[in-house]
Structure 1
Amino acid sequence: MIEVTMPDGRQLSFKHVVFDYNGTLAEDGVLSDSVRELLRELAAKVHVVVITADTFGAAREQLKGIEGVELIILGSQADGTEKARYVSEWGSDSTVVIGNGVNDQPMFFIASLKIAVLGPEGLSSGVLSASNIVVRSPEDAIRLLLNAKRLIATLRR
């Protein structure tokens, strides 16, 4: 679990972190070694899930061997409502979502903490406007959660 006490007394507590895959964790379907290592570290603290339509068909192979990371592959016609349904089932108040694409918007509308990744594959304006935090890379997003006190600087009121 990731817990942070904000200066105003709010308690943030997260049990689940849901990632989009392409454009968020992976570039052109490929994970970097640094993302792989950071995912391992994060999965030791919280339930880590990657939900993707797997545009490049590489997610299963790329995530293979990363203990504690659950992969959910959606059908190619998925529109994002499926991602939001999973977040709702796990509890939107205790879930962080991390994404970049239009099909991430539905989960961004309901999750407690929304982190948008503005990487080489771009960032949809809908996810941008629904996000609490915008980062430059998946590594930056994961490091925010691994050193949760960093969240205080960005989220303090």
Structure 2
Amino acid sequence: MGTIITINLPNGRQYEIQLVVFDYNGTLAEEGIISPSVRQLLAELAGKVRVAVITADTFGLARSQLQDVPGVELILLDSSMDGTEKARYVQQFSPENTVVIGNGVNDQPMFFIAGLKICVLGPEGASTSVLASANIVVKCPEDAIQLLLNPKRLIATLRK
């Protein structure tokens, strides 16, 4: 696991990303399944920064789908828990140095506190509250991960 991704924006703003937190269903996975390309990109990202996936695991497949992805921390939540558990996890680290990637209402609490927020508008759609609070909206998880692996893409999107 790496330690940091630095993104310098032309306006002087700098992101020093130390942690990337993903929602699972609707963000990384469709009906509980992640694609081989997402699996490969997650492993590549986990070689650069700390990567965590936090999920209530609606389909019960997250553990088996992520078991062979090196460096990815899986945090399984009880289905009765809400998004505050995701925000608590982010809060344990440096929220301003954290990127959160999600699509659902239960991702909103971590979107409130993270330094950079990416909404994935995939086949399951996205909550309007997450969409409104995102810095960036992408069409699929591959695009979200590629933004972090190729920071110049972020510069083009976030520059003022």
Shorter-chain TM band = over 0.9
CA distances 1:45-96 after superposition (whole Å, capped 9, x unpaired): 0000000000000000000111100000000011100000111111111100
Q: Do residues 41 (structure 1) and 44 (structure 2) align?
A: yes
Deviation at 1:108, TM superposition (A): 0.4
Unpaired runs of 5+ in structure 1? none
The corresponding residue for 1:125 is 128
Shift of 1:9: 1.6
For residues 90 and 125 of structure 1, the distance between their equivalents in structure 2, rounded to whole angstroms, comes to 27
Given the two structures, how large is their TM-score scaled by the length of structure 2? 0.97
Task: Give the match for residue 62 of structure 1.
Answer: 65
Aligned pairs, number: 157
Cα deviations across residues 83-124 of structure 1 (Å, max 9, x unaligned)?
Answer: 001111111111000000000000001100000000001100
Does residue 134 in structure 1 map to residue 137 in structure 2?
yes
Q: Does 1:87 align with 2:83?
A: no
Aligned residue in 2 for 1:3: 6
Q: How does the TM-score come out when normalised to structure 1?
A: 0.99
Q: Which runs of 4+ in 1 moved over 6 A?
A: none
Q: Distance in 2 between matches of 1:90 and 1:70?
A: 14
Q: Percent identity?
A: 68
Distance 2:7 2:33 in 1: 32
For 2:15, the equivalent position in structure 1 comes to: 12
Partner of 1:148: 151
SS at match of 2:118: strand
Aligned partner letter, 2:68: G
Unaligned runs of 5+ in 2: none
Distance 1:20 1:11 in 2: 24
- Structure 1 position 12, deviation (Å): 1.1
Partner residue, 1:27: 30
Query: In 2, Cα distance between the equivalents of 1:35 and 1:153?
Result: 23
Q: Secondary structure at the match of 1:90?
A: coil
Which letter does structure 2 place at the counterpart of 1:148?
P
Deviation per CA, 1:16-50, whole angstroms, max 9, x where unpaired?
00000000000000010000000010000000000
- After superposition, the CA RMSD in angstroms is 0.5
Q: Which residue number corresponds to residue 75 of structure 1?
A: 78
Q: Secondary structure at the match of 1:28?
A: coil
Find the residue that maps to 1:45 and give its secondary structure: coil
Q: Provide the rounded CA distance (Å) in 2 between the counterparts of 1:77 and 1:12.
A: 34
Distance in 1 (alpha carbons) for counterparts of 2:104 and 2:14: 29
Give the secondary structure class of the aligned counterpart of 2:119.
strand
SS at match of 2:38: helix
